[in-house]
Amino acid sequence: MTLTFYKYQGTGNDFVIIDNRESILSKNNTKLFARLCDRKFGIGADGLMLLELPQNNEDDFTMVYFNADGNESSMCGNGGRCLVAFAAFLGVIRNRATFTAIDGKHHAEIKNGLVYLQMQDVLEIEKYDDHLFLDTGSPHHVTMVDGLSEYDVENVGRRIRNGAPYFEAGSNVNFVEKRNGSSFAVRTYERGVEDETLSCGTGVTAVALSMHATKLTDKEAVSVQTQGGELKVTFKKTENGYEDIFLIGPAEQVFKGEFSW
């Protein structure tokens, strides 16, 4: 069988995307998804997404996301932004979108070449002596470090991801350094990829909220520099937590191809 695929990237976070509105692919084909994401024996990507038909009359489409290991995973922020750009490319939407992902409903808009993706509200941030933990659609461990550019993200990140209290379920791990004002830099170890990625959208969102929660910035618009480029997060702080959260950045089609199996 031969199927058309598209490759997208959002600040270096790259994805294989397939138009699955005709249910050509089974969501149980995890071995195939892992092979397609393999950088040596497949196309190569941090994850794979299926754009599927909406599940209700309010949505434009459904997002189904798989990690590079082939397993269906929690929300991917950069993936969501790329899927919105893909939906616009297909003509499914124009410049506004409503879709459902594994963590619920999302709204998005394309403006001036950037994708604005509304994330879920965050009502709880756990604060510890040396880190914070929060769920922005995916679980995130956030810790401040010095010398970020030289930091051993791969080994330290793997140890935290697999250690207490996360163990097998795991957590994404973000290492953060303040640049100035409301600007920060981050490097992220991602579970499912089991390595550092150039960018992580839910991680950038977690960093922005964590920096505000710890009073390292008082701004409700935070810039976060990833290894693959800069993203912006805007939000509103309320007495219940953080609401109206938007992850903002570019999403670009890299190429189109076909694969057979």
Q: Quick one: CA torsion of 112, 78, 227, 210, rounded to 10 degrees?
A: 100
> What does the block give as tokens for 160?
């935290």
Q: Identify the burial level of 78 via C-beta atoms within 10 angstroms of its C-beta, where 0-12 means exposed, 13-18 middle and 19 or more buried.
A: buried
> Rounded to 5 degrees, what are φ and ψ at 56?
-155, 175
Catalytic residue among 45, 50, 76, 185: 76
Say how many Å lie between the first and final Cα of the chain, rounded.
Answer: 6
| Separation of CA 134 from chain center | 14
Q: What CA–CA distance (Å, rounded) separates 26 from 5?
A: 15
Kindly name the residue from 200, 208, 211, 224 that is annotated as catalytic: 200
Task: Give bridge partners of residue 257 from the DSSP assignment.
Answer: 5
**Residue 37 annotated to the active site:** no
DSSP conformation letters of 51-94: EE--SSSS-SEEEEEEETTS-B-S--HHHHHHHHHHHHHHTS-S
Strand partners, 78: none
Task: Dump the DSSP string for 111-140.
Answer: ETTEEEEEPPPB---EE-SS-EEEESSSEE
Whether 76 sits among the annotated catalytic residues: the reply is: yes
Give the orientation angle of helix 201-213 with respect to helix 77-90, to 10 degrees: 130
List active site positions: 76, 200
